Amino acid sequence: DTEVTQTPKHLVMGMTNKKSLKCEQHMGHRAMYWYKQKAKKPPELMFVYSYEKLSINESVPSRFSPECPNSSLLNLHLHALQPEDSALYLCASSQDYSNEQFFGPGTRLTVL
Amino acid sequence: TQLLEQSPQFLSIQEGENLTVYCNSSSVFSSLQWYRQEPGEGPVLLVTVVTGGEVKKLKRLTFQFGDARKDSSLHITAAQPGDTGLYLCAGVASVTGGFKTIFGAGTRLFVKA
């Protein structure tokens, strides 16, 4: 298995909702990432997990809460988001964080 | 602050033309990746270059890593409409405590039939 999967593909939520994005990889990669990408912009790093521990938080607001239940799974819990949080959320993984990253297909999030 | 400057930002060409995309930085990278992204999808890894001066070919795409590992180029020969997409370069740089991947701003390529 050489891919990163993400669910759901699309998500529409209200500002008072709680939802979660899920990411999975079975390549034995020990680093996993969350990125946010707005239209016509490059991906913007949010969080990095290395060996299931949070190693980088790029000053992301607390309404985004990452979780790494095991080495294959990465979640992003969403609560009280704002319309400006609407974006494509990308998960990626790499063998460790000095190696090339492989991206999932993304979750298109719309906050109403 | 480490930056990776990518140019051009936008390119619209006719099918059959050649093009080159550049990524430049003042930082040294341990490796550099090129990705292609279609709208609404995740970036797909095209190539990783590691050694200064390295050249890699992927069909009509030629990737080069600068001798000093601070810059890279992507050359497409005889572009086709299927090459349309966003091309991103990403450099892995050593920082205090580990490594960080830095993305260029992207080159949006449109190839007209």
Q: What is the DSSP letter of B80?
A: -
* Rounded Cα gap, residues A33 and B113, in angstroms: 37
CA torsion angle for B100, A91, A4, A95 (degrees, to 10)? 20
Per DSSP, the three-state class of B82 is helix
What is the pLDDT averaged over residues B92-99?
82
- Which chain A residues are within 8 Å of B98, Cβ to Cβ? 50, 55, 97-98
> Using CA atoms, how far apart are residues A22 and A26, in angstroms rounded to an integer?
14
**pLDDT tens digits, B25-59:** 999 999 999 999 998 899 999 999 999 999 999 99
pLDDT value of residue B77: 98
Tokens of A107: 């979750």
Q: Is A105 on the interface with B (CB under 8 A)?
A: yes
SS3 state at B81: helix
B101: which chain A residues are within 8 Å (Cβ-Cβ)? 45, 97, 101
Is some CB atom of chain B closer than 8 A to the CB atom of A97? yes
Least confident of B13-22, B34-43, B89-98: B89-98
Query: A85 by DSSP, 3-state: which?
Result: helix
From CA A16, how far away is CA B54, in angstroms rounded?
51
Token representation of residue A93: 């993984």
Q: Give the chain B residue whose CA is nearest to the CA of A43.
A: B103
Distance in angstroms (rounded) separating the CA atoms of residues A53 and A70 = 10
pLDDT band at B17 (very low <50, low <70, confident <90, very high): very high
pLDDT above 90 (res B96) = no
pLDDT given for residue A99 in this prediction:
87
Report the SS3 class of residue B83.
helix
- Residue pair A22/A107 in contact (Cβ under 8 Å)? The answer is no
pLDDT number for residue A40: 86
Residue pair A102/A4 in contact (Cβ under 8 Å)? The answer is: yes
What count of other Cβ atoms lies within 10 Å of the Cβ of residue A39? 9
- Do the chains contact at A90 and B42, CB–CB below 8 Å? yes
Supply the pLDDT for residue B94. Answer: 85
Q: Which of B43, B30, B24, B83 is nearest to A44 (CA)?
A: B43
Rounded to whole angstroms, how far apart are CA atoms B113 and B111? Answer: 7
CB contact (8 A) between residue A88 and residue B40:
yes
**How many residues does this entry show for chain A?**
112
Output the DSSP codes for B6-36: EE-SEEEEETT--EEEEEE-SS--SEEEEEE
Rg (alpha carbons) of chain B, rounded to whole number: 14
Q: Is the pLDDT of residue B2 over 90?
A: no
pLDDT one digit per residue (tens) for chain A, 112 residues:
669 999 999 999 999 999 999 999 999 999 999 999 999 899 999 999 999 999 888 899 999 999 999 999 999 999 999 999 999 999 999 998 788 999 999 999 999 9
Strand, helix or coil at A28? coil
Percent of chain B's residues with pLDDT above 70: 98
**Of A40, A45, A97, which has the smallest distance from its Cβ to B98's Cβ?**
A97
- Total residue length of chain B: 113
